[in-house]
Amino acid sequence: MKDTAMDGHVIRTRALTKRYGDLRAVDAVDLRVRAGDVYGFLGANGSGKTTTLRMLLGLVLPTSGEAEVLGMPMPAARRSVLPRVGSLVESAAAYPHLSGSANLALLDATGADRSPRLARRARIGTALEQVGLDPADRRPVRTYSLGMRQRLGLAAALMRRPELLILDEPSNGLDPHGVQEIRQLLLQLNASGTTIFLSSHLLAEIEQMCTRVGVLRGGRLILQEQLETLLRPTGLVAIRTPDADRCQALIGAPVVSVEGDRLLVRAKDPARLNAYLVGEGVPVEEIGSYRRSLEEIVLEAEAGRDHR
Ligand code: ATP
């Protein structure tokens, strides 16, 4: 039954809250994740990301508020929802004395899968290959590195060809090459229709792969927006020059800020500005439209909240 919410939201929460004593680990969060999103859920250590993910998966009960996953209430509908969701939350549990494929076979067996043995074996092999593990590797999981365990957890999440993947820090423990491989894999899965909701504190990583971001701070969702909207041009031009003073004097009022050798100027056409400055004998080392990085945007959002 494909009964994803009528409004196209794959995950939707209303005032979702989890309290531990006096601590509001998650505080009135309204998440909106649409079908086809790669949603990056950001926040510093302890900001409430894992607790939110656990509530979405029915592993932790909310203190108040509501969560809907694939259009159905969680945790009430978990029996219908969870078979359609792949998840990796915290370090993946595995039997250390068994190989990776034996672990996946056990998982499959508990999933009440009735498909023929050969088909199951092929699916296990595909899932292992997808995450860059060798299906023929007979070594027990206890000999795996942290990165290999993380890959095995991802393979387990992929076994059911889920509509939605909920992943807590999927690049945890991976080397830069592994991070890139997993990013490619997630983008491929997304291109074939899987919605992805992943938590991270790596802003550059999120900036490279997500369509939408949410930022948690102290349990509150302080920002939720399409990445494209956040990263659109600012209407400013950035100039780098060793002669910042003269440059500022020449341009005058449109200069918005000067920081060392970098000026930000309200202007439409970097090429014209460049020609003017060079004509006046100002050495221009770098000039171009200024876009803020996700890091700057998140820091600003966090600072804005501090000032409230
Ligand atoms: P990290 O990036 O470090 O994994 P996080 O954003 O996932 O952090 P959470 O693990 O959700 O954050 O924790 C949010 C807050 O709730 C933290 O202050 C944490 O100590 C607290 N917390 C989480 N689980 C419990 C629990 N079972 N009992 C008490 N406090 C808890």
- CATH domain 4-230 topology: Rossmann fold (3.40.50)
pLDDT at 95 over 90: no
Residue closest via CA to ligand 1's atom 2 equals: 45
What is the rounded distance in angstroms from the CA atom of residue 38 to the CA atom of residue 34? 9
Q: Is 172 close to ligand 1, i.e. is its CB under 6 Å away?
A: no
Residue 38: pLDDT band (50, 70, 90) is very high
CATH of domain 236-290: 3.30.70.100
pLDDT at 140 over 80: yes
Task: Please identify, by atom number, the ligand 1 atom nearest to the C-alpha of residue 51.
Answer: 11
pLDDT at 7 over 80: no
Q: Is 54 close to ligand 1, i.e. is its CB under 6 Å away?
A: no
Residue closest via CA to ligand 1's atom 18 equals: 46
What is the rounded distance in angstroms from the CA atom of residue 301 to the CA atom of residue 297? 6
Residue 158: pLDDT band (50, 70, 90) is confident
Question: b/e map of 269-304 (b: 16 or more CB within 10 Å)?
Answer: ebeebbeebeeeebebeebeebebebeebbeebbee
pLDDT for 92 equals: 60
Q: Is 48 close to ligand 1, i.e. is its CB under 6 Å away?
A: yes
pLDDT for 3 equals: 45
Task: Please identify, by atom number, the ligand 1 atom nearest to the C-alpha of residue 54.
Answer: 11
Start-end of CATH 3.40.50.300 domains in the chain: 4-230
Helix ranges restricted to H, the chain:
49-56, 78-81, 100-110, 117-130, 146-158, 176-191, 203-209, 227-230, 244-251, 270-279, 294-307
Q: Per-residue pLDDT averaged across 58-78, rounded?
A: 95
Q: Write out the two tokens for 210.
A: 């997500």
Task: Please identify, by atom number, the ligand 1 atom nearest to the C-alpha of residue 219.
Answer: 14
Start-end of CATH 3.30.70.100 domains in the chain: 236-290
Q: Per-residue pLDDT averaged across 29-49, rounded?
A: 95
Among 77-81, 168-172, 253-257, the minimum mean pLDDT is found in 168-172
Task: Please identify, by atom number, the ligand 1 atom nearest to the C-alpha of residue 26.
Answer: 14
Amino acid identity of 86? G
